[in-house]
Amino acid sequence: MSERAQMIHMLVRVSRLAAERWGMKLSQAAGLLGSSGALGYIARNFGLFHMEGDEAVLDDAEEYLLSKGVTPYDAS
């Protein structure tokens, strides 16, 4: 599988995991990750992230979102 295909698979897996964790539809989670720049962040850092599990990648994406002032879940 090419690196591009691996990256796309990772982005989809992380988007699905985010939807589950955040209690959203997949389209909502993917939209939030995309509009915030988190998917681009993951793609740009694929070389590092491909060595980690999806949970760790999502944890990092959540930190990225929070640094941008975006809270994807109920923080209470």
DSSP string, 9-69: HHHHHHHHHHHHHHT--HHHHHHHHHHHTHHHHHHHTHHHHTTS-HHHHHHHHHHHHHHTT
- Is 76 exposed, middle or buried, given 0-12, 13-18 or 19+ CB atoms closer than 10 A? exposed
Q: Give the global pTM.
A: 0.87
pLDDT reported for residue 75: 46
- Which pLDDT tens digit goes with each residue over 35-60? 999 999 999 999 888 888 999 999 99
Mean pLDDT along residues 53-74: 90
Taking residues 53-71, what's their average pLDDT?
Answer: 92
Q: What is the pLDDT of residue 34?
A: 94
